[in-house]
Amino acid sequence: MHKVAVSSWATSTFTKGSKMSLFELACEPSVQLIRESGVSAKEIDAVLFSSCATDQYSSAIISEMLGIYPRISYRVDNLCNSGTNAVASAFAIIASGLCNTVLVVGAEKADSPGNKLVWDVSRGSFMFPVHWAAIFAKAHMRKYGTTEEQMAMVSVKNHKNAAKNDHALFRKEVTLQEVMNSKKIASPIKLLDCSASCEGASAILLVSEEKARSLDNPVFIKGIGQQTTSASFAKATPDLTTIEAARRAAHTAFEMSHTKLSQIDVAELHDAFTILEILGYEDLGFAKKGEGGKFVDQEQIVINPRGGIIGCGHPVGATGVAQVAEIASQLAGKAGKRQVKNCKTGLVHNLAAAGSSASVIVMGV
Amino acid sequence: MHKVAVSSWATSTFTKGSKMSLFELACEPSVQLIRESGVSAKEIDAVLFSSCATDQYSSAIISEMLGIYPRISYRVDNLCNSGTNAVASAFAIIASGLCNTVLVVGAEKADSPGNKLVWDVSRGSFMFPVHWAAIFAKAHMRKYGTTEEQMAMVSVKNHKNAAKNDHALFRKEVTLQEVMNSKKIASPIKLLDCSASCEGASAILLVSEEKARSLDNPVFIKGIGQQTTSASFAKATPDLTTIEAARRAAHTAFEMSHTKLSQIDVAELHDAFTILEILGYEDLGFAKKGEGGKFVDQEQIVINPRGGIIGCGHPVGATGVAQVAEIASQLAGKAGKRQVKNCKTGLVHNLAAAGSSASVIVMGV
């Protein structure tokens, strides 16, 4: 297998109501990436577009707008997992030798059709993601004594990180009290336990090892694990305190990358709701089962340095790409004022639809 | 690069108005494939779904309906090219070593949003594919003296082949006179020069070389070429008598497969309109430039043995998968009453949106 590096990345400012079209959104970070990467549009031989938007032929449209003539080009669509699926697809295209230079672009408008889970009859009328997040939270509280304060601390931490990220939707710290006093959405989940849908885009360039040799600090994708356990909530996981898909994806990614958990210095965890970051600690193995709530205070690993999904906002198809972009920038030592010191190995954890599918990507220098 | 084989395939009967949902359509050939392949649902470690339908999380829904727990799963969307793009993506997933057994399913309802090209302002109010097909046909007639009768002969040939295909939408031969007398849609294109939108599904199983060893007659994917030149018609090709994307895709596929044109025994060519098959003869190199019209009569290579898109119907996202399924069945010697004798090497040629993107896949035993 050819090795694959992430050589460039750019993420737009996540906002609400910019009035940009999906395609303008997608082009914004892509143009920046091409300008800053030193790679010309002509060298890019594949373009994969990640989005839940229903526009037809969107990857070809974006390619034409960017002046790229890709050999391989298509859209990848899989709800919140779309971006990490597109990264896996791009990885495979390079690792197989089909292409050398793949642009992965994720973009979403705030009114994305990916925001509702209307297709799952097993959810009844509880079609918004917050409904199943509440069920996970209650189960974890009941079984392990996890507290609303512990969940709220995830929000405090991620908002604090987002305050250092100029591209985040929310750039203001929040206090524990503010989270606890915020409006109840679906008990025990409060407004500040939730991420917000928004619009935004992120682009990364994946290149073959040969191309990566000319880079100063190549960041390699070392392991990719993905798992789908179901589409419906009813069959997603046998135990409501574990995201089974994430556990299995992590196992695959660690095995493929020959990486130990203890080597991870920095991680992007899927925190569309605070409880999901706590489950993530456990599913990935950072915390023992049931001890995720206490793990929020730890300081060995930096988790969600860009502010996570709670701080940055959640433009569904862009999120997975932005997560990979963040870890690449951290490992390359180019994360500016939110740079994590001495990080060499990082991880991305992403989920879709009540954790019925998950991705874990291990990256390293 | 690991070698990749097509080990099983199944295509449903293409129809109009079956009242099956998109997901029922997708499951029909998949269930048949799993039943007949000897591969259990549990062995399948990736599911890629090809469709222009706008349903969210569709590949996960299909996986759950089929009892598959895929590691990698997403939908691939790229208009008429979706199916061949999904095959390329599946090929890369196996060739890179990420998975061993990938199910590619293509399905489409007759009212697919992929049937109109509404997003291309460069087409003005000519948003139906027939409009640009007419422009290609007129250009070829003017420059090379290609006749309406030659185009009509493509329809006669493909309908004749479809008459032997129980899964085709049209199972009746047509005469040259019937084609010539059929209703003018956009001069010089007549009704019987056109394919029809319809509903249908096709599934193929791709496996690693190791898995393929246990097969009787493994059919390998030897070369994949894809090219996007634009999204808009205005920029698709500099010469209206050539599909530039197909020419380049063919070059890549032949180079990768170390195959000569003269080795091709059987081919599936994209004939959504008769003129496209004639352009295909030339773009692939079967006929010299300008001589595609005369090439319709040749008997060395069997082209569109299942009846092509004109005979089978055109369920957009399923077409590319069905094309690969047909060539695999021919090369494996399992094509029943339409079996091409002694065929060892085959080719799939697929186009999207006025030939602004193209795929060429070379397969062999």
Per-window interface: A 207-246 vs B, CB < 8 A: 224-232, 235
- For residue B188, whether the previous peptide bond is cis, meaning omega lies within 30 degrees of 0, is yes
Residues 6+ apart with CB under 8 A from B24: none
Q: Looking at domain A4-112+195-364, does it have CATH number 3.40.47.10?
A: yes
pLDDT tens-digit profile of A81-94? 999 999 999 999 99
Strand partners, A204: A9, A104
For B4-114+195-364, which CATH class?
alpha beta
Whether B228 and A98 lie within 8 Å, measured CB to CB: no
- What pLDDT is stored for residue A117 in this prediction? 78
Q: Alpha-carbon distance B252 to B256, whole Å?
A: 6
- What pLDDT is stored for residue B71 in this prediction? 98
- Tally Cβ neighbours within 10 Å of residue B11: 27
Chain B residue nearest residue A53, CA to CA: B54
Q: Alpha-carbon distance B136 to B243, whole Å?
A: 9
Low-confidence winner among A20-24, A118-122, B140-144, B270-274 (lowest mean pLDDT): A118-122
Whether B230 and A71 lie within 8 Å, measured CB to CB: no
**H or E element that contains B2:** none
- Does the pLDDT of residue A100 top 80, yes or no? yes
- Nearest-CA distance from A62 to chain B in Å? 8
Structure tokens at B86: 């999904």
Banded pLDDT at A123 (limits 50, 70, 90)? confident
| B258 flagged as catalytic | no
3-state secondary structure at position A208: strand
- Does the pLDDT of residue A11 top 90, yes or no? yes
Query: A80 contacts in B (CB within 8 Å)?
Result: none
Q: Alpha-carbon distance B55 to B23, whole Å?
A: 10
Strand partners, B227: B358
pLDDT tens-digit profile of B314-357? 999 999 999 999 999 999 999 999 999 999 999 999 999 999 99
Phi, psi for residue A56 in degrees, rounded to 5:
-85, 150
pLDDT tens-digit profile of A301-322? 999 999 999 999 999 999 999 9
Chain B residue nearest residue A248, CA to CA: B71
Residues 6+ apart with CB under 8 A from B295: B278, B281, B282, B286, B287
Please state the pTM of the whole predicted model.
0.97
Residue B135 burial (C-beta neighbours within 10 Å; 0-12, 13-18, 19+): middle
First to last CA, chain A: 18
pLDDT means per 10 residues in chain B (365 residues)? 93 94 98 93 97 96 97 97 98 97 98 84 80 96 98 98 97 98 97 97 97 86 98 90 98 98 98 98 98 96 98 98 98 96 97 96 97
- What pLDDT is stored for residue A126 in this prediction? 76
- Average pLDDT score over residue span A267-282: 98
Banded pLDDT at A128 (limits 50, 70, 90)? confident
